[in-house]
Structure 1
Amino acid sequence: MKIALATVAFVAHSLAFAQATPVGLWKTIDDDGKTEKSLVRISETAGVLTGKIEKILDPSAKPNAVCDECKDERAGKPLVGLTILRNLKKGDEEWYEGGDVTDPKNGKVYRAKVRTLEGGKQLQMRGYIGPFYRTQTWIRVE
């Protein structure tokens, strides 16, 4: 009986921990806090997080849109499949940091930090230029 309870507790803890990581599918919400923009899949390889756009949700977006404003190797690439989060690693406390996020709307690249909130149901995405930053809250897609 004790072994069964310990096993259930371990599995429940493991599932809670897995959901608390940024790995998964996220619905991005614009700075206005209302407009759904896209679905981004965050994955982890060798401790490094990356995020790619899987689907555009913004009804004002052009079909088959490309990153017209990107200035690097992503210039002219389709938005669906575009890597917008790169090189984030586990930092101090609950943040993943050290990488960057690209805003495909204007092509700007910002230093980035992310962390999960609400037990992994939300993702706080923070992009920095110098000491200034903007923050968005993304919602996990179950």
Structure 2
Amino acid sequence: MRNLFKTIGASTFACLSMMVSAQDITGSWQTIDDKTGATKGIVEIKKESNGTYSGVIVHITPHIGYQPKEFCINCPAPYTNKPILGMKAITDLKAINNYEYENGKILDPNIGRIYKLKVKMSQNGTKLNVRGYYGFSTIGRNQTWIRINPTQLPQSN
């Protein structure tokens, strides 16, 4: 009988722990370039009052061979000639279940193209598989983004 109570207690604790650790995609994400594997910046994803998710570019990471643009020059309105830093690059993303999000849009400010967006979060909540596509979801690009803690955010000068 004692073992039964221990088993029930352990199972209950495990279930509660999983519920507590369940996350959505809100937070800070380190973007990784799908072509070079280099870090490009940080996007802060938030849940909007209408239940959709949006993402703002909060940091741009320069590195050897990559000089980031300051303004969104070839972008369509309302992004044309706006600063990339602080730009809302993800809009209208909707949760499908605990790990999948669809029907959003994502802007690539380096080339000025808006893609349809699908996102799948890893079960442990540390990675996002970001799929930007146009037309059919088979025509597009994938990136893996890594969740970062607020303490890892670069300091503003």
What is the TM-score of this pair, normalised by structure 1?
0.84
Q: Which structure would you say has the larger RCO, counting Cα contacts within 8 Å and 6 or more residues apart?
A: 1
* 1:1-142 matched pairs, under 5 angstroms: 10=16, 12-18=17-23, 21-32=24-35, 34-45=37-48, 46-59=50-63, 60-62=66-68, 65-91=70-96, 94-131=99-136, 132-142=139-149
Distance 2:140 2:85 in 1: 25
2:26–2:44 Cα contact (<8 Å) kept: yes
Which one-letter code corresponds to 1:47 in the other structure? G
C-alpha distance 130-92 of structure 1, shift in aligned 2 (>3 A): farther
Distance 1:95 1:58 in 2: 30
The 4+ residue runs of structure 1 with deviation greater than 3 A are 4-9
Q: Percent identity?
A: 31
Give the count of matched residue pairs. 137
1:40–1:51 Cα contact (<8 Å) kept: yes
Aligned to 2:154: none
Matched position secondary structure for 1:134:
strand
Two-structure CA RMSD over aligned residues (Å): 2.4
Quick check: which has more Rg, 1 or 2?
A: 2
C-alpha deviations, 1:19-70, integer Å up to 9, x for none? xx1111000000135210000000002320000000001333357x011111
Unmatched runs of 5 consecutive residues or more in structure 1:
none
As a proportion of its length, which structure holds more strand? 1
Note the C-alpha offset of 1:76.
1.1
Distance 1:92 1:9 in 2: 18
What is the TM-score of this pair, normalised by structure 2?
0.77
